[in-house]
Structure 1
């Protein structure tokens, strides 16, 4: 397998272990452990870990390993409040600068994400959700917004993976009691897209702020 594909596979598999909660918050992981578990060499694992640390999904510890960030209420409040402001600014600027191709790309992401959501494909949905938010950050045309949104997005998603019922329950437990919080959050993406498509800058910014704030509020009110 070409080197790039091995590194991509390592990254995808580590991500899956976190989404499926096989690695718990606060867990220390090492290159050796992951290489053995995934059946690949340490070099692509090392590269994948560096990428995930840079993105905020993992933290480096003092022993040359890394950890899944622990879940702390104050940290969650901080990261979501930062996302609210940064992504609100990005959405407003995206509405100003978006090209027809940009809008089409967001429409495609939402369409594919909806299929993942209704099919209860958690890992795929998480990736489409990331793509939606990161694409809007890129569309803002502000490299600093894109950089800082990228750094805090996955950190916030750790809380989603471990608190949101969409990720806590599998398709076999799709009951009224397991109605996913993400249902409300996901539909809000359409409001953001509409405002960007119609170049309503202030509305796009406010819709994104409401969306991020609502996600935080639902997680805080978890059963």
Structure 2
């Protein structure tokens, strides 16, 4: 399913990798990591989800190791943040908007590629989520933080990706997947993520839970 020309797909991938890599490098700065740590977090954030997907579906060697641009893009993001991190921090809101755009793009392309390699629709949705959010999980684990994907005090991240990936799966089943409808699915995930950021939407916790969890502590009711 070639929804875009190879050239367009390549540049979309690089754009998504770059914005994710910037978020990884910024976390490294906040953690006071050196430049090697910055490059590592930038690389795993930008490439981790796609690398995991390719290994699971058997698309080997993964694209991250067959295209030099995929490896150089996180390094470019590292250089940018290394020298300009105060300025990048000041436009953090804009970075989060681009991150949301990357989320929408990768949940779509991840789902499509997984299905093209023979996975069923449900498994393809899972791979779409893994493509969009896997790099962020690896980033947080390496930075010794609870992954944002699992934290109740962060705006929903997985839900928009799942919605976008599910929309793609339904379009595939209906035989209506094309460049326009896949773009609409990516836009759906993008808008849901922006709304979550704007209105602080969070996933519900356990029903009638008896503890009140705060950052770094837990008190029993």
Q: TM-score range by the shorter chain?
A: 0.3 to 0.5
The answer to which structure, 1 or 2, has the higher relative contact order (CA under 8 A, 6+ apart) is 1
Per the normalisation by structure 1, the TM-score is: 0.38
Per the normalisation by structure 2, the TM-score is: 0.38
